Amino acid sequence: MKKYFPCFFLLLLTQISFSQKKWTTNFGIEAGTDGWTGQAGVTPLKLKDNPLIHSDLKRQYAVAAAFYAEFLQLKKRTFTKWGATAPGFGIKTKLDWQFFRADNSNSGGGEALGLNYANIPVLFEYCLGYHQGVTRGGVVPGNTTVSEYDHTDYTHIITNTTSSHYNPGGAKTESGTFIYFGPQVSYLFKSFNYSGAMIKDANIKNNYIGLVGGFTFWIHKLNLDLSYQKGMTSIYNGKNITVDGFLLRVGINFGSRLYNK
């Protein structure tokens, strides 16, 4: 695994150092899951094809958490309604933890397979759209509510009125949409089988190479990310066993992304 790190970071530094355009950085955290839908994990899960298991497993789920660093190239655009400066090309990397579990609990079995991976992707991204503006001013209308309570010998009526007021607006807003794709190196740092013990199999590999692609939408400091990853190398010698699937993530960016001050 270590031999791939210099290549990835050299590529990252080369892109940043030799560009004549302005760059900005973002840092943040994110967490995600496949929603317990079985859309991400080890493939296949049939006993005849996978020596890591002792029966067919039909239920699986995945969770993930990451710290990310993003390097964005800023560009000028002729259409300035949503800001004269906008992100263009970017590079994003992460320190990403992923956990994949499969079991047969839905059929009354007691077997499970769990794999913990530390991942470092290098993602090349492109901004499909960036919008920076301000909130509009306007009048917030008043409201009157009437509550009636019927007691035994009388009726109690309560009226609450809120007066209208003017909101001046002017608060800055920003949103963006990105598409991305790139390689990923994954390192297996913990695995366990149906008994909870570490898997001791000389054929299980400590690392694999994969590809990741997806979309990110963000508004203010909130990120929403949908990705698909495909294992390009097997995690087991002599068998075609890969880690694939969709993950949905929610993240928080540590700083604002207002590129038109």
Tokens of 68: 């990310």
Whether residue 123 is predicted with pLDDT greater than 90 in this model: the reply is: yes
Answer for the pair 174, 127: CB distance below 8 angstroms, yes or no: no
Q: What is the pLDDT of residues 31-62, one digit of tens each?
A: 999 987 888 889 998 988 988 888 888 888 99
DSSP state for residue 236 in the 8-state scheme: B
Assigned fold of 2-137+171-253: Porin (2.40.160)
Give me the pLDDT at residue 135, please.
Answer: 53
CA dist 250 and 248 (Å) reads 7
State how far the Cα of 33 lies from the Cα of 60, in Å rounded to an integer: 11
What average pLDDT does this structure show over 140-153?
70
Q: Is the pLDDT confidence value at 172 over 90?
A: no
Give the β-pairing of 138-140 and 59-76: unpaired
Whole-angstrom distance, CA of residue 32 vs CA of residue 229:
14
The token pair that represents 91 in the structure block? 């590079």
Q: What is the pLDDT of residue 39?
A: 87
pLDDT digits (tens, 9 = 90+) for 72-104: 999 887 777 767 788 999 999 999 999 999 888
For residues 261 and 16, give the distance between their C-alpha atoms in angstroms, rounded to a whole number.
23
* Model pLDDT for residues 193-244, shown as the tens digit of each residue: 766 667 888 899 999 999 999 999 999 899 999 999 999 999 999 999 999 9
* 53, 115, 184, 248 alpha-carbon torsion, rounded to 10°: 100
- pTM as predicted: 0.76
For the chain, first and last CA: distance in Å?
42
pLDDT band, residue 18 (cuts 50/70/90) = very low
Percent above pLDDT 70 for the chain: 79
Give the pLDDT band (50/70/90) at residue 105: confident
